Amino acid sequence: MELVLFDLDNTLLAGDSDFSWAQFLIGKGVLDREVYEARNLQFYDQYKAGTLDIFEFLDFQLAPLARHDRAQLDRWHEEFMDTFIRPMITTAARALVDQHRADDTLLAVVTATNSFVTGPIVREFGIPNLVATIPAQMDGRFTGKPRGMPAFKAGKIERVEAWLESLGLYMGSFERTHFYSDSHNDIPLMARVSRPVAVDPDDTLREHARLHGWEVISLHG
């Protein structure tokens, strides 16, 4: 059996779903442009620089979920899929997922972006498992806070290990393990698999991949 893990934003997607969800809500007038757009850009820059405080960001990113009922959020998300997400999915990305889909392969997306935003995207790819930051809920409504450890940096390792343990497995259960990512933030998890693959990587990850002999591919070119 093989384990194949994919990052989502700027890896399987030619763009960032987390950033785009906030921009979508701003465009709908759900969020105030003057208040939210600059903060959204600031957090995105911090993520790319590796300086993001994930809990500060989640306070910002999850708060709008708590202000609206789930039915309304789901309707907005359907529109978000059509206007933002499907245009970000390249033929090469779909082909890569299809290439790995086999009876003896366990597939999952591992992403810091919350599961409300990413769940429908992962289903669009036909990937059966999602390891993501979980937005807490109470009585069917989001609370605006995360539940448990965010799936970010080393937190991705903790969340993947917990998921595998829930299946009675661990990283050593597999003949081969793969992780595809674009970001230097994912180097901790990439270093834990037998085949790390840098996908259209940022400069830091590209250099790290060069030094360690990791594969580098493009899905967005």
pLDDT tens across 79-121, in order? 999 999 999 999 999 999 999 998 789 999 999 999 999 999 9
Active site residues: 7, 9
Query: pTM of the entire structure?
Result: 0.95
CA distances from 181 to 14, 58, 188, 191 (A): 12, 21, 11, 12
Do residues 199 and 219 touch, judged by C-beta distance below 8 A? yes
Domains of the chain listed by start with CATH number: 2-217 (3.40.50.1000)
Per-residue tokens: 11: 């890896």
Helix (H) or strand (E) holding 207: helix 203-212
Q: What is the separation of C-alpha 214 from the centre of its chain, rounded to a whole number of angstroms?
A: 21
Among 95, 123, 93, 69, residue whose Cα is nearest residue 12: 93
- Give me the half-sphere count of Cα atoms (radius 13 Å) on the Cβ side of residue 216: 16
List the pLDDT tens digit at each of the 221 positions of the chain. 999 999 999 999 999 999 999 999 999 999 999 888 888 889 989 988 989 899 999 898 899 999 999 999 999 999 999 999 999 999 999 999 999 998 789 999 999 999 999 999 999 999 999 999 999 999 989 999 999 999 999 999 999 999 999 999 999 999 999 999 999 999 999 999 999 999 999 999 999 999 999 999 999 97
CA distances from 172 to 135, 168, 191, 192 (A): 30, 11, 14, 10
Q: What pLDDT, on the 0 to 100 scale, is given for residue 15?
A: 97
Q: What pLDDT, on the 0 to 100 scale, is given for residue 221?
A: 74
